[in-house]
Amino acid sequence: MKRKDFLYLSGMGLGAALLPNLSAFGNPIDPLQALDGVDIRVKKQMADVALNAAKSKGASYADVRIGRYLNQFVATREKRVQGVANTESYGIGIRVIANGCWGFAATNKMTMDDIAKTAEQAVAVAKANAKIQGEPVQLAPQKGYGEVSWKAPIEINTFEVPVKEKVDLLLQVNDIALQNGANFVNSVIFAVNEQKYFASTDGSYIDQDIHRIFPSFGVTKIDKASGKFQTRSSLSSPMGMGYEYLTAGANDKVGGIVPRYKNRYDMLEDVKFAALNASEKITAKSVEPGKYDLVLDPSHLWLTIHESVGHPTELDRVLGYEANYAGTSFLTLDKWQSKNFKFGSDKVNIVADKTQKGSLGAVGYDDEGVKCGKWDLIKDGILVNYQAIRDQAHILGLKESQGCCYSQGWDDVQFQRMPNVSLQPGKEKLSVEDMIKDVEKGIYIIGNGSFSIDQQRYNFQFGGQIFYEIKDGKIVGMLNDVAYQANTQEFWNSCAAVCDESDYRLGGSFNDGKGQPSQSSAVSHGSSTTRFNGVNVINTARKI
Amino acid sequence: MAILSKEEAQAILKKALSYSKAEFCEVSLGGSEGGNIRYARNAVSTAGQISTMDLAVSSTFGKKTGSATINEFDDASIAKVVKRAEELAQLAPENPEFMPPLGPQTFQESATFNPVTAAITPDIRAEMVAKSLQVVKEAKLEAAGFLENGVRFNSVMNSKGLFAYNKSSDVSFSVTVRNQEGTGSGYVDQSFNDVAKMDTLALTKIAAKKATGSAGAKAIEPGKYTVILEPLAASDMLGNMFRGFDARSADEGRSFMSKKGGGTRLGEQLFSENVNLYSDPMNPDIPSATWNGDGLALKRTQWVEKGVVKNLAYSRYWAAKKGVEPVPGGRNFIMEGGNKSLEDLIKGTEKGILVTRFWYIRSVDPQTLLLTGLTRDGTFYIENGEIKFPIKNFRFNESPVIMLNNVEELGKPVRMGNLMVPPMKIRDFTFTSLSDAV
């Protein structure tokens, strides 16, 4: 990533404050120019040039991704706009197999000559590395789909909403925070549009249009006298949606001690509660360490699912391909082969799904031309499957890939990435209120906070945004300095109850990192509120 | 060609400025060329070669600024990107924190470029990886690693006469070696401007030794222990802290550098007396560019002296507001140490734990800078000056501020990414639970 981190834009005024960290996503452009797609006939011509050049140099397989990646950031703090930036990144990435080895090359020079040269360079890289290659790459068969397309089912294209409307919303958010006692507030709308075209020597030409949105804020309350400060972040979720995500109606709200949201989000309401929560946190009781029953809201649990289920079921980690960076996995193949590895209690049913509407991972086809689907990972508590791509499918005895291949851009090579991984709701009717009524000594956690897990995904520690103490079936007040530590398998085996589907909501990660050079992907995790019994809670307060 | 000389860059930047009609205009041009090999299970998994170059224009009318970039460099494209930035500036809201660009500045010539590193080819990369694979294959171990090299230039010019240029080269290598049973794991990670310093064979041998030596780890009780942190582990902890040396967040009351009752902890004894931290772009082991994005010259800046906070970084805006001189943040961070080696520190330890590296470090509480994370790839128990046996990995909950108050001894600093840190012996380091991970 060092190469990209160098992109020099700091101190450049409008939007620049945001850009150094976002350089991997592209270059700032005129918002109005971002909207016209590239002609599909031109893309097919370019793809054919690349595929033919690769084959003529000896590639036994080739695929091409022509990508136009648009991002928009609108960022504010208190009463001012920090930055508005549109970025675009357009280019072609060509992946080949030659002499049994993968090679990849990418360019943003989009003449037919440059494309052909880049394809040849990819073949040359493959051949150079074939000398130190072990076993040849084995690709699961994949039929060509011909010329097909897929579009995210959005209602309002975020890029077509005037910047002023977004700025006005965010400044209103900030104003509400300040009026309700916050000292500082940052708010952001981040939108992504991936226009990507895939073609391969298998005979697929796939055009896709993907949208994502992530509105968020953070408020800070300072208590000058004590020198203490507390923060509270938004309870929004990044979604695979358009601007309609910001148009919540009454049906999108979940009642309770603080409002939470499903499908659509009310930023103005959430920020008011956030400011109040931050003030409450200053004086909240510091938690007594020990064992508690945890009641985890979907706005919190998504991250625990992501880290402790999503990552260890990635087949590339299981096999050792991520050993030097993200790590390996405790869910080794022998555990899967035994067909009786008890990952969790029988309440635990977890699915992988690349088709869920509104989710971050939803696409028609993955980045190696495989049609996407849905499958079980954990069934009644037992590990039953992983997440695989074409060159791994044979290891699981699968006849085809599970469609988990993704690249963050045209200039990065695609590899195995997490599909949406979600805990299925409980089959019996159960509300959050009824779940809490049953808890004698517990903590109700809302929102995600600090997170850390080991490289094989055994030992984890999670914080949160807000914590409520439960005593004898009732919420008795707010707690502070809470984090829980557990072992993944013990934790999921302590799962005692899952609320029904009326409470099911999506959370998600906009920037899940993996790979070298590191790449970011976006993925959703759904769940209903869930209870875990007897989890170890530590107190995180310190003095310096 | 993505890497331009100073004169070539200057010519394009001058041309861009000649099209400007804005009150202020700042243009920057940067490019990179590089490649990488990733390997796992003792074979190459992915590899690539990428080159890019971009021109960025930032135009300001009053306090309204717009910016745009382009990656085409004919006259029409350059004129277009300048016009686009000006159009965006007219549409932009006023930025009350806008600072007019600086006039001409003098910058030292940096030491960041090495021609041999710049000349690395795909075949040289393959040879370097082959050496690493040779070690593990002979020892019947399994490696996963990553080798990346690149050349980069950055340049900036503005309508008030400022011009700056820097060219750098770098090469980085990391490898995780595991035994076939999956019960032992070792790791090394190094980066240099000069590829001559990079010995993939010797580094892989260190990782292999740790992989073999860490097999069969015993569990010991979590708690407070004296630890010896290898430079990699120490840099994992300190990297987070350096970002907190910022005056604005301290003044605003939301940093570990904020003072009770208001203000900052500048001038306070925050760490042990043997803690000295500074940045220096001209350090030969860890050179950096000599200017930053604000157009300010970077020079040696002492952040901590004998445990006392000597400087916090002030942006030009925050400095003007506070009536002080701007202090640019460092691009490298150097912690002074002594002359002892890691082995010397181990020899002088009665009971303690040797930590190769930490993993998955996250902030738990920004108020105290409390961090959590885990040990990884080689954790050992020390008794009577010797490594006695490998131990299972721990989760820790510890603040680097507390840690730097408990410094017993420091060894000779080593480069780790953009930090130079010594191996360090720390008392009362807090481990809170055990992990089964290898």
- Inter-chain touch A327–B60, beta carbons under 8 Å: no
| Cross-chain CB nearest to B146 (options A12, A132, A516) | A516
Q: Do A483 and B145 touch (CB under 8 A)?
A: no
CA distances from A510 to A238, A420, B364 (A): 6, 12, 20
- What is the Cα–Cα distance from B19 to B74, expressed in whole angstroms? 13
- Give B224 to chain A, closest Cα distance, Å: 15
Which of B40, B295, B395 is opposite residue A461, by nearest beta carbon?
B395
| Among candidates A2, A324, A459 on the partner chain, residue whose Cβ is nearest the Cβ of B176 | A324
- The shortest CB-CB distance from A321 to any of B40, B123, B436 is to B40
Residue of B nearest to A456 (CA): B437
Percent of chain A exceeding pLDDT 90 equals 84
| C-beta atoms of B69 and A327 within 8 A | no
pLDDT at residue number A6: 24
Alpha helices by DSSP H, listed for A340-480, are: 432-437
pLDDT at B113: 96
Report the pLDDT averaged over residues B338-364: 97
Q: Could you say which of B28, B88, B294 has the minimum Cβ distance to residue A30? A: B88
| B207–chain A nearest CA distance, Å | 11
Q: Measured between beta carbons, which residues in chain B are less than 8 angstroms from residue A7? A: 30, 54
Q: Determine, for residues B376 and A454 on separate chains, whether the beta-carbon distance falls below 8 Å.
A: yes
Residue with tokens 């030659």, as numbered in its chain: A98
Identify each DSSP E strand in A203-343 by its residue range: 204-223, 228-233, 253-254, 260-261, 285-286, 290-296
Q: Tokens 């709308």 appear where?
A: A189
The answer to whether the Cβ–Cβ distance between A454 and B360 falls below 8 Å is yes
**What residue spans define the domains of chain B?**
6-211, 217-438
Could you tell me which chain B residue has the CA closest to the CA of A135? B43
* Mean pLDDT across A197-208: 98
Q: Which residues of B touch A324 (CB under 8 A)?
A: 38, 40, 144-146, 174-176, 187
Tokens 């920057």 found at: B28
Q: Which residue has the tokens 């508690």?
A: A292
Q: A194 φ, ψ to 5°?
A: -100, 115
pLDDT (0 to 100) of residue A399: 92
**Of the candidates B26, B93, B432, which has its C-beta nearest A12's C-beta?**
B26
Q: Provide the residue type at A419 as one letter.
A: P
Contacts of residue A323 in chain B, CB cutoff 8 Å? 40, 142, 144, 176, 178, 185
CA-nearest of A345, A328, A371, A357 to A420 is A357
Question: In A378-444, where does DSSP find H-type helix?
Answer: 432-437
The pLDDT score that the predictor gives to residue A36 is 63
Mean pLDDT of B342-360: 97
The confidence band for A354, taking pLDDT boundaries of 50, 70 and 90, is very high
Whether the CB-CB separation of B30 and B53 falls below 8 Å is answered with yes
How many residues are there in chain A?
A: 544
Percent of chain A with pLDDT over 70: 93
CA dist list (Å): A182 to A176, A302, A528: 9, 27, 30
Q: What is the DSSP letter of A69?
A: E
Query: pLDDT tens digits, residue range A11-64?
Result: 233 233 333 333 333 444 444 454 567 889 999 999 999 999 999 999 999 999
Interface test with B, best of A452, A457, A480, A488 (most B CBs within 10 A): A452
Residue A98 pairs in a beta bridge with A101
Residue A96 clears pLDDT 50, i.e. is over it: yes
Complete DSSP assignment for B54-107 = EEEEEEEETTEEEEEEES--SHHHHHHHHHHHHHHHHHSPP-TT--PPP-----
Q: Is residue B88 pLDDT above 90, yes or no? A: no
Identify the residue among B180, B248, B318, B372 best suited for mutation to test binding to A, counting A beta carbons within 10 A and taking the highest. B372
The two tokens of residue B13 are 């930047």
CATH for the B6-211 domain, from 3.40.50.10490, 3.40.980.10, 3.30.2290.10, 2.60.40.3620: 3.30.2290.10
How far is the C-alpha of B240 from the C-alpha of A476, rounded, in Å?
36
Q: Which ipTM was obtained for this model?
A: 0.91
Out of B60, B182, B395, whose CB is closest to A459? B395
- Which two three-digit tokens encode residue A491? 């934790």
**CA distance, residue B259 to nearest chain A CA (Å):** 6
What are the pLDDT digits (tens) for B30-46? 999 888 999 999 988 88
Contact A503, A484 (CB under 8 A): no
User: Apex CA A200: angle with CA A197 and CA A204, to 5°?
Assistant: 70
Cα dist from A359 to A161, A421, A497, A514, whole Å: 21, 10, 24, 20
Domains delineated in chain A: 2-283 (3.30.2290.10), 285-539 (no CATH)
d(CA A329, CA A336): 12
Mean pLDDT of chain B: 94
Backbone angles phi, psi at A440, to 5 degrees: -85, -50
3-state helix, strand, coil in chain B (%, to 5): 25, 40, 35
What are A100-116's pLDDT values in tens digits? Answer: 999 999 988 889 999 99
The confidence score (pLDDT) of residue A440 equals 98
Residue B92: pLDDT band (50, 70, 90) is confident
Contact between chains at B436 and A103 (C-beta distance less than 8 A) = no
Nearest chain B Cα distance for residue A252, angstroms:
31
CB contact at 8 A, B235 and B286: no
What's the burial of B254, exposed, middle or buried (CB within 10 Å: 0-12/13-18/19+)? buried
Residue in A5, A7, A10, A14 to test binding to B, most B beta-carbons within 10 Å: A14
pLDDT for res A16: 35
Taking CA–CA distances from A455, the nearest residue in chain B reads B437
Output the pLDDT for position B71: 76
Interface contact B144-A132, CB threshold 8 A: no
What is the spatial distance between Cα B434 and Cα B431, in angstroms, rounded to a whole number? 8
- The pair of structure tokens assigned to A308 is 């402790």
**Greatest mean pLDDT among A13-17, A151-155, B53-57:** A151-155
The whole-angstrom distance between A142's CA and the closest CA on chain B is 21
- Chain B residues in contact with A487 by the CB 8 A cut-off are 436
Nearest to A298 by CA among A353, A270, A260, A266: A260
Contact A330 B437 (CB under 8 A): yes
Q: What's the rounded Cα separation, in Å, for the pair A108 and A411? A: 8
Summarised one tens digit per residue, pLDDT across range A454-502 is: 999 999 999 999 999 999 999 999 999 999 999 999 999 999 999 999 9
Contact between chains at B28 and A15 (C-beta distance less than 8 A): no
- Of residues A355 and A71, the one with the higher pLDDT is A355
- Decide if B56 and A28 are in contact by the 8 Å CB cutoff: yes
In whole angstroms, what is the distance from residue A451 CA to residue A307 CA? 9
Alpha-helical segments (H) within A327-431 = 333-337
Whose CA is closest to B44, among A390, A127, A514?
A: A127
Mutate to test the interface with B, among A97, A455, A482, A538 (most CBs of B within 10 A): A455
Alpha-carbon distances, residue A10 vs B282, B293, B298 (angstroms) = 22, 5, 15
* Nearest-CB residue to B93 (from A81, A322, A483): A81
Measure in Å the smallest separation between the Cα of A12 and chain B Cα atoms.
6
More confident residue, A507 or B123: A507
CA distance B46 to chain A (A): 6
Q: Which two tokens stand for residue A241?
A: 């949606």
Distances (CA, A) of A20 to A7, A23, B67, B89, B312: 7, 6, 14, 20, 21
Nearest to B311 by CA among B324, B321, B320: B324
A-B Cβ pairs (cutoff 8 Å, strict): 291
How many C-beta atoms surround the C-beta of residue A135 within 10 A? 9
CB contact (8 A) between residue A3 and residue B50: yes
Q: Is the pLDDT of residue A307 over 50?
A: yes
Sheet containing B141-158: order of strands: B64-70, B43-61, B24-40, B141-158, B163-179, B185-192
Is the pLDDT assigned to residue A235 strictly greater than 60? Answer: yes
Q: Give the closest-approach CA distance of B436 to chain A in angstroms.
A: 6
CA distance A8 to chain B (A): 7
Q: Kindly report the CA angle at A250 between A245 and A254, in degrees rounded to 5?
A: 85
CB contact under 8 A, B436 and A7: no
Q: What is the mean pLDDT of chain A?
A: 92
Backbone angles phi, psi at B316, to 5 degrees: -60, -40
Q: What pLDDT, on a 0 to 100 scale, did the predictor assign at position A27?
A: 46
Which of A189-198, B120-129, B310-319, B358-367 is the least confident region? B120-129
Contact B282, B300 (CB under 8 A): yes
Per-residue pLDDT tens for A193-202?
Answer: 999 999 999 9
Inter-chain touch A517–B148, beta carbons under 8 Å: yes
- Whole-number pLDDT of residue B1: 52
